[in-house]
Structure 1
Amino acid sequence: MSNGQVVAAVDGSEHSLVALEWARAAALRHGTGLVVAHVLPDSSQLYAARRSALRDASQPEEFADPVADRVRALLAAAPELPAEVRYEALEGSVPEALRAVGADARMLVMGSRGRGGVAALLLGSNSRAVATSAACPVVVVRHAERGAGADAGAGGGAGAEASAGRVVLGLHASETPDDVLDFAFAEAAARGTTVQVVSAYVVPPAPTMVVDAPFVVIPPEVLAGPGSESESGAGGEGGSGEAADGVPAEREMLRSQTQRLAPLRARYPQVPVEQAAVPGDAAGSLAAASRSAALVVVGRHHPRRHVRSLMIGSVAHALLQHAHGPVAVVPTLPGRPDAPGASEEGL
């Protein structure tokens, strides 16, 4: 996990100011600096280029940047700031500039839409482009988080509940890169909360299949060994009886989860873990879990594609469109080996 700074991408829109507040809190949680990055509008970039080309000393060297002024005013009124806060005005296209400034960041935080957002679209083109190709984890924060954050600051309400929520990890047991797991556990440790691990398994359709049934959450101790399900009593939502009666694919998925999570549980012994296996639709289950989650964490790439491909996975894409709260999309970070080989089950 990178020890770099938290980068907040701002453009003056309400969505980006929500992301700025989320990033400020994240930097405080992780004890890092905060970089506030703003890509200058085309008019400002053209002015700077013209002044440089003409070398006209009569023109003022500085030009108005209302976004910077507003951001500095908001940060000045914040109850607490990270030890280091830096503001950077960037040039170039928005995705390229943000990818560059976030190259070594711990995470890059963006709003779901910027000033150019269309109300009917849940995810802006810049947010999608950066989440698809940035070298660091990208957190996309929904606009609804602004109201939650205000409530949390007041000491109650929906925001306080959301800030204390679980970190939900979408896990393909055989393919999700270690960086994704490490990011989720580090975030849960910094928040003092639980990691809820959700994996999907494939089942053949049946006439009696129940649609949209709540998934079962199994505590790790229930999966400790053969026969333990029947001896341990109730466990998690739905109880261990459901796990004992579950289909073989569900039981195997939970076993695979337990094996894959063992190194993380040893590295983060203070982080409680809940495990869930869901049939079929991983993205829908993660979107539902996002209603009460502090953060949902998924890997960026489709497991059937090369891990360094620029194609974003279908689960990550669907979650960015439909999640009800912040989503972290985590790539394989530089210096990491590729993920393990593919299987026919999983997220």
Structure 2
Amino acid sequence: MSDDAPVEPVAADRPVDGPVVVAVDGSAGSDHALEWALTAARLRDAPLRIVHVRQYAMPLADGPYMPAIDHRPDADPVVDRVRAALEGRAQLPPLTVEVMEGTPGRDIPRLGDAARLLVLGSRGRGGFASLLLGSNGIACAREAACPVVVVRPDKELTAGAEPCVVLGLDALSPHAYTIGFAFAEAALRGAVLRVVCAYPGPVLVYTATGDFVTSAEADAATAAQYTELAGEQLAPFQERYPHVRVEREVLPGDAAGLLVDASREAELMVVGRHHSRRSLGRLMGSVTNAVLLHAKGAVAVVPPEPH
């Protein structure tokens, strides 16, 4: 494979020619998601599938108090808006625009079954301004078989700043597919990969006088342990992606807070999802859930491995 060829982490049971899929609903959030998905498809040299999941079917007949109805299967104001936005644009990837009848919270996650990436906005048309992540985004992040990118529009990168992808690394429970996805994304974008690994700190020790005090020695030992673990987990991917510059940060404190802060200067934040599918907390974990709710810009939630 040449250095210029797109490289993505692909498991044996994933369709290597799967499209990038973006869900649209006519909202400003889905407009941002569409633009992000267009770039992702071009970077991967992949087709783009644009889907509007329409919750309510069109009426079967014209009524006396309703305008004339266009009964074509793809007749929909949302897809008409998408087609108008894309008309005449150059360098578009091969794409399709579709309308599906169904329930967005149930059917949008299923779009990931045959996709290499599923993209959607952080809020739909029915979302409140204060709600940073809608129910469809939560459903996709916890259930979709492929990596899910939730795109938030309130992102302004510093002019002239070097492109940056941030990986939230859990040193005690790493997911190889998540790490590989972050490296591949950094390679595709020509970005530096900033790896943020949190450890519990500052370390407290119990003294003979009955007090808890911070221990610099214990803190340093914990930091060294996590640094070694992070290095071991990243080494195979650094060998595979020698052109990706890695900045590793092993820091004490709350992982979610550190990642949210790091997201302010990132083109993309990458976090992992747990194996279990029994409850929301187990599906995504508190850190991933907090990052989805509070991080700036685009967040990729990557399953431990493709289903």
Would you say same fold, with TM above 0.5? yes
Are positions 1:65 and 2:76 aligned together?
yes
Contact residue 253 and residue 277 of structure 1 kept, 8 A? yes
Aligned position for 1:97: 107
Matches of 2:278 and 2:239 in 1, distance apart?
Answer: 31
Amino acid at match of 1:81: L
| Structure-2 residue corresponding to 1:22 | 36
Question: 1:272 is matched with which residue: 245, 248, 252?
Answer: 245
Partner in structure 1 of residue 179 of structure 2: 181
Instruction: Please report the RMSD computed on the Cα atoms of aligned residues, expressed in angstroms.
Output: 2.5
| TM-fit CA distance, 1:30 | 1.2
Residues 293 and 325, structure 1, Cα contact 8 Å, conserved in 2? yes
Output the amino acid matched with 1:100. R
Q: In structure 1, how many angstroms separate the alpha carbons of the residues matched to 2:58 and 2:225?
A: 59
Residues 26 and 281 of structure 1, relative CA distance in 2, 3 Å threshold? same
Q: Within 1, Cα distance between the matches of 2:204 and 2:133? A: 32
Distance 1:60 1:24, change over 3 A: closer
**Secondary structure in 2 aligned to 1:312?**
helix
Q: CA deviation at 1:165?
A: 2.4
CA distance in 2 between partners of 1:189 and 1:307 (Å): 30
1:189-228 superposed matches below 5 A: 189-203=187-201, 204-205=203-204
Q: Contact 1:6 / 1:23 at 8 angstroms: preserved in 2?
A: yes
Question: How far apart are residue 248 of structure 1 and its match?
Answer: 0.8
Q: Which residues of structure 1 form unaligned runs of 5+?
A: 52-58, 149-157, 210-241, 336-347
Residue 4 of structure 2 corresponds to none
- Deviations along 1:139-175, whole A, 9 cap, x unmatched? 1111224xx5xxxxxxxxx47657x421110111232
**Which position in structure 2 is the counterpart of 1:263?**
236
Contact 1:167 1:194 in 2 (8 A): yes
2:251 counterpart of 1:290? no
Between the aligned partners of 2:181 and 2:293, the Cα distance in structure 1 is 21
CA 1:263–1:92 in structure 2 vs 1: closer, same or farther (change >3 Å)? same
Determine if contact 2:55/2:104 at 8 Å carries over to the other structure: no
Going from structure 1 to structure 2, the CA distance change for 1:208 and 1:73 (only over 3 Å counts) comes to farther
- Provide the aligned length of Structure 1 versus Structure 2: 275
Aligned to 2:13: none
Opposite residue 172 of structure 1, the aligned amino acid is D
Q: Which amino acid aligns with 2:267?
A: A
1:108 to 115, 118, 124: 118
Change (3 A) 1:86 1:123: same
Equivalent position amino acid for 2:122 in 1: S
Runs of 4+ in 1 over 6 A off after TM superposition: 206-209
The alpha-carbon distance between structure 1 residues 136 and 35, as it changes in their structure 2 partners (threshold 3 A), is same
User: 1:60 deviation in Å?
Assistant: 5.6
* CA deviations over 1:287-327 (Å, ceiling 9, x no partner): 000000111100012xxxx5454522111100011101111
> What residue in structure 2 maps to residue 13 of structure 1?
27
Within a 5 Å distance, the mapping from 1:45-194 to structure 2 comes to 45-47=57-59, 50=60, 61-62=71-72, 64-82=75-93, 84-145=94-155, 148=156, 158=157, 161=160, 164-194=162-192
Task: Please list the CA deviations of residues 65-106 of structure 1 after superposition, one character each: whole Å capped at 9, or x if unmatched.
Answer: 111111011122434211x10112112110222122221211
CA contact (8 A) 1:15 1:112 kept: yes
Percentage of pairs with the same residue: 46
CA contact (8 A) 1:308 1:332 kept: no
Match of 1:225 in 2: none
Code of the aligned partner of 1:33:
P
Does residue 1:37 correspond to 2:78, yes or no?
no
Matched residue type, 1:328: A
Do structure 1's residue 317 and structure 2's residue 289 form an aligned pair? Answer: yes
Distance in 2 of aligned mates of 1:72 and 1:36 = 10
Q: Deviations over 1:44-73 (max 9, x none)?
A: x153xx47xxxxxxx864164111111011
* Cα separation, 2, equivalents of 1:161 and 1:257: 30
Q: 1:251 aligns with which of 217, 220, 224?
A: 224
Q: What is the deviation of 1:12?
A: 0.6
State the one-letter code of the partner of 2:184.
A
CA separation in 1, counterparts of 2:234 and 2:130?
39
Structure 2 spans left out of the alignment, 5+ residues: 1-8, 11-15, 62-68, 206-211
Change (3 A) 1:161 1:128: farther
After superposition, the Cα gap between the structure-2 partners of 1:25 and 1:119, relative to the gap in structure 1 and judged at 3 Å, is: same
